[in-house]
């Protein structure tokens, strides 16, 4: 992806957050110089991978397979030992986050506003493949069940609880508008707790055609020289 594309998607996301009165931490709007000036105070941010994130899952077609997110808080045993994490995400119509599950993390995905969020579900077997068994889950504390590969549609304010080992993909329903989706979960570890059904990448290859508007989590090492 071109950096100019990433910059535009982040600017669009900032507008959506503003229109929905959803406020990010002050450092979400920092320039590179702000980061450099405050670098020593931000070790927890770097170590916990907080901040702007964007992925095309290595496919290169962000608008059809991709996700923009901001990690607001995340546990890190070397700092605070908090057992939880929170993200806010921008999901466009028919923009798929592909099937994956987590070995350790239980999470709630919440429709915070906008269109309708579609979540498709499969149980996994001991070989980490799809099964044909019904999937039992909770939406806002209520027990529900769908057939293998079934769809759950979440309107604004609704949420789904996803247990470990449950494959899920999600996207905004066509014609309903972009979704501002939240995630509240156990501690998040994208490096070791994502099991994608297909072999996919996590971070985009960036063509630096202009300066970053906002630093991504993946930029901390390259731009700020943090480990």
Report angle CA 108, 219, 182 to the nearest 5 degrees.
15
Q: How confident is the model at residue 202, as a pLDDT?
A: 76
Q: Would you say residue 199 has pLDDT above 80?
A: yes
- Give the ranges where the chain is alpha helix by DSSP (H): 3-19, 32-38, 43-47, 219-224
- Give the pLDDT band of residue 38 (cuts 50, 70, 90): very high
- What's the average model confidence in pLDDT over 113-136? 98
7-36: per-residue pLDDT in tens?
Answer: 999 999 999 999 999 999 999 999 999 999
Of 203 and 227, the one with more pLDDT: 203
Residue-averaged pLDDT of the chain? 96
Q: Would you say residue 77 has pLDDT above 90?
A: no
- What's the average model confidence in pLDDT over 199-225? 92
Cα distance between residue 31 and residue 103, in whole Å: 36
**41: helix, coil or strand?**
helix
> How far is the CA of 122 from the CAs of 12, 62, 141, 152, 158, in angstroms?
32, 24, 20, 12, 20
Spell out the domains of the chain, with CATH numbers in brackets. Answer: 3-224 (2.60.120.10)
- What's the average model confidence in pLDDT over 71-100? 94
pTM: 0.96
Query: What is the edge-to-edge ordering of all strands in the sheet holding 166-172?
Result: 151-154, 117-123, 166-172, 97-101, 195-196
DSSP designation for 227: -
Q: Would you say residue 118 has pLDDT above 90?
A: yes
Cα distance between residue 36 and residue 25, in whole Å: 17
């Amino acid at each position: 992806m071109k950096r100019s594309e990433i910059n535009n998607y982040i600017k669009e996301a900032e507008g959506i957050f503003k229109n929905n009165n959803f406020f990010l931490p002050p450092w979400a709007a920092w320039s590179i110089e702000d980061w450099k000036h405050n670098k020593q105070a931000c070790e927890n941010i770097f170590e916990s991978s907080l901040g702007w994130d964007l992925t095309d899952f290595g496919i290169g077609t962000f608008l059809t397979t991709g996700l923009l997110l901001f990690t607001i808080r995340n546990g890190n045993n070397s700092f605070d030992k908090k057992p939880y994490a929170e993200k806010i995400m921008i999901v466009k119509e028919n923009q798929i986050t592909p099937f994956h599950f987590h070995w350790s993390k239980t999470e709630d995905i919440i429709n915070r506003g906008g269109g309708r969020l579609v979540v498709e579900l499969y149980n996994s077997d001991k070989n980490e493949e799809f099964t044909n068994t019904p999937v039992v889950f909770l939406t806002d504390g209520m027990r529900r069940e769908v057939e293998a590969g079934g769809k759950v549609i979440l309107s604004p304010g609704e949420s789904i609880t996803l247990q470990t080992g449950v494959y899920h993909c999600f996207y905004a329903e066509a014609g309903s508008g972009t979704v501002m989706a939240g995630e509240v979960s156990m501690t998040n570890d994208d490096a070791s707790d994502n099991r994608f059904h297909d072999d996919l990448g996590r971070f985009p290859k960036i063509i630096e055609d202009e300066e970053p508007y906002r630093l991504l989590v993946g930029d901390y090492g390259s731009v700020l020289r943090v480990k």
